């Protein structure tokens, strides 16, 4: 390449990779040489384990156009919006090759993105955010509340739309780390996650349908090349069953003491006692969350906290920024991009051989994922880098 290539980064989950995801990748590709996706691994940003495996999801993304797919370390992949965004953005920045960051923003909120971006730079915003958060709402809602007090929006209620908030978090993270990466917001339908648009259903609706055995629905909701990968995994039973680890979680909580729980991210201010107490009355993760949930402790915070307990994540193992990323897969044609990546950011493709790189939670969370798929834990170490 004569000049530095244009490389667009995307932070995502792809569980599974659907038509909306493909649309975004193709849009990014229109003006880019390469598209690099960084995804959460065994456990999702919202908390519980992904349905499809880390490598299956990477494979789906590559098949539908991504050039390189990386994996976010567990403590960033399973984290509230701020940390998830900081993990993805700073990892992409550390690669030294990414020039743009593409993210979808609800169509109706695109007009206020500019003023919202200005707003989140202010100290007033930070103050309002922390105030809202300590009032006991979710991270996304706290962002929405802070924003609604600083900008004029005709639709202030929708300011806490998940993708809009994530977008703002990306922009804020880029600013915080003084990155040269250019934000590239693109329009997405606001009702996507609510599932009103049956021509492009959300990933959660696709998973729900698939768990009822509806493979026809899967076929219409995924790009054909991703569908082939997803249906193969599904037919082989190679997917995490939603309740598979419920008893393991409850047993783990019952055998933990309050000190261990207090030292777990997202658990503080007495939540540890509430979790231990509610575990006595729960025979499933769903029941447990519904028992713990209050205005002060929103669902996703609890969901993530429970995964952290199960995985054994503690506050000491949570660096501010990822110090490695996982190499999940790439297109052969992306070889020049791979070789241009900064050597300062380790790309780990064989985790078992890198025990010194704080990958304990990463690999244990992958083992847990495999157990919940009915597989032997060692399969977590056997997954090959996907090359197409």
Question: Which residues lie near its own copies (CB under 8 A)?
Answer: 244-245, 247-248, 250-252, 254-255, 279-283, 310, 312, 364, 367-368, 371-372, 374-378, 381
- Please choose, from the candidates 332, 370, 156, 335, the residue with its C-alpha nearest in 3D space to the C-alpha of residue 245: 370
Number of CB atoms found within 10 A of residue 4's CB: 10
SS3 for 71? strand
CA 79 – CA 74 distance, rounded (Å): 8
Residue 310 CB, shortest distance to its own copies, in Å, is 7
* Residue closer to its own copies (CB basis): 79 or 250: 250
- At closest approach, how far in Å is the CB of 250 from its own copies? 6
| CB closer to its own copies, 24 vs 365 | 365
Dihedral pair phi/psi, residue 187, rounded to 5°: -75, 140
The residue among 203 and 371 lying less far from its own copies, judged by its C-beta, is 371
Look-up of token digits 């290539």: 5
Helix axes 162-176, 113-120, angle to 10 degrees: 50
Closest separation in Å from C-beta 192 to its own copies: 34
CB of 381 to its own copies, least distance (A): 8
- What's the number of CA atoms in the CB half-sphere (13 Å) around residue 370? 16
CA distance 130 to 144: 12
Closer CB to its own copies, 26 or 251, in the complex: 251
**235 versus 247: smaller Cβ distance to its own copies:** 247
Please report how close the Cβ of residue 74 comes to its own copies at its closest, in angstroms. Answer: 14
Dist. CA 346–CA 183, nearest whole Å: 24
Burial class (CB in 10 A: 0-12, 13-18, 19+), 160: buried
Max Cα-Cα span within the chain: 64
Structural tokens at position 34: 């390469």
* Residue 242 or 377 with smaller CB distance to its own copies: 377
Instruction: Name which of 184 and 250 has its Cβ closer to its own copies.
Output: 250
Smallest gap from Cβ 319 to its own copies, in A, equals 21
Reported residue count of the chain is: 388
Q: How far is the CB of 247 from its own copies (least distance, A)?
A: 5
- List C-alpha distances in Å: 254 to 273, 365, 371, 373: 11, 20, 20, 24
**Could you tell me the smallest distance in angstroms from the CB atom of residue 78 to its own copies?**
16
Based on its alpha-carbon atoms, the radius of gyration of the chain, rounded to whole angstroms, reads: 20
For its own copies, the closer CB: 212 or 281: 281
Compute the half-sphere exposure of residue 78: CA atoms within 13 Å on the CB side of its CA. 31
């Amino acid at each position: 390449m004569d000049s530095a290539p244009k490389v667009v980064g995307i932070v995502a989950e792809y569980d599974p990779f659907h038509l909306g995801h493909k649309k975004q990748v193709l849009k990014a590709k229109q003006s880019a040489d390469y598209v690099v996706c960084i995804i959460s691994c065994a456990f999702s940003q919202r908390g519980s384990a992904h349905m499809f495996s880390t490598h299956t999801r990477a494979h789906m993304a590559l098949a539908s156009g991504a050039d390189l797919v990386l994996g976010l370390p567990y403590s960033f992949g399973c984290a509230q919006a701020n940390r998830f965004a900081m993990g993805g953005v700073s990892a992409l920045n550390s690669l030294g090759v990414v020039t743009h960051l593409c993210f979808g923003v609800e169509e109706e909120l695109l007009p206020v993105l500019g003023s919202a971006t200005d707003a989140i730079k202010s100290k007033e915003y930070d103050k309002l955010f922390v105030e809202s958060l300590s009032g006991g709402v979710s991270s996304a809602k706290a962002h929405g509340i802070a924003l609604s007090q600083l900008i004029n929006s005709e639709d202030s209620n929708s300011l806490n739309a998940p993708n809009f908030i994530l977008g703002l978090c990306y922009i804020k993270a880029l600013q915080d780390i003084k990155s040269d990466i250019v934000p590239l917001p693109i329009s997405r339908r606001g009702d996507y996650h609510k599932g009103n648009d049956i021509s492009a259903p959300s990933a959660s609706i696709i998973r729900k349908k698939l768990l009822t055995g509806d493979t026809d629905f899967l076929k219409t909701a995924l790009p054909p090349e991703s569908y082939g990968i997803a249906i193969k995994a599904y037919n082989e039973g190679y997917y995490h069953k939603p309740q598979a680890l419920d008893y393991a979680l409850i047993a783990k909580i019952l055998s933990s003491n309050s000190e261990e729980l207090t030292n777990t991210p997202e658990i503080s201010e007495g939540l540890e006692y509430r979790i231990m107490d509610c575990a006595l009355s729960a025979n499933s993760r769903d029941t447990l969350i519904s028992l713990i949930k209050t205005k002060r402790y929103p669902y996703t915070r609890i969901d993530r906290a429970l995964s952290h307990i199960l995985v054994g994540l503690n506050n000491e193992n949570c660096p501010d920024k990822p110090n490695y990323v996982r190499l999940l897969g790439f297109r052969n044609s992306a070889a020049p991009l791979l070789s241009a990546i900064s050597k300062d950011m380790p790309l780990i493709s064989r985790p078992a051989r890198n025990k010194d790189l704080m990958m304990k939670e990463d690999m244990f969370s992958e083992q847990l994922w495999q157990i919940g798929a009915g597989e032997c834990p060692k399969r977590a170490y056997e997954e090959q880098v996907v090359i197409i």
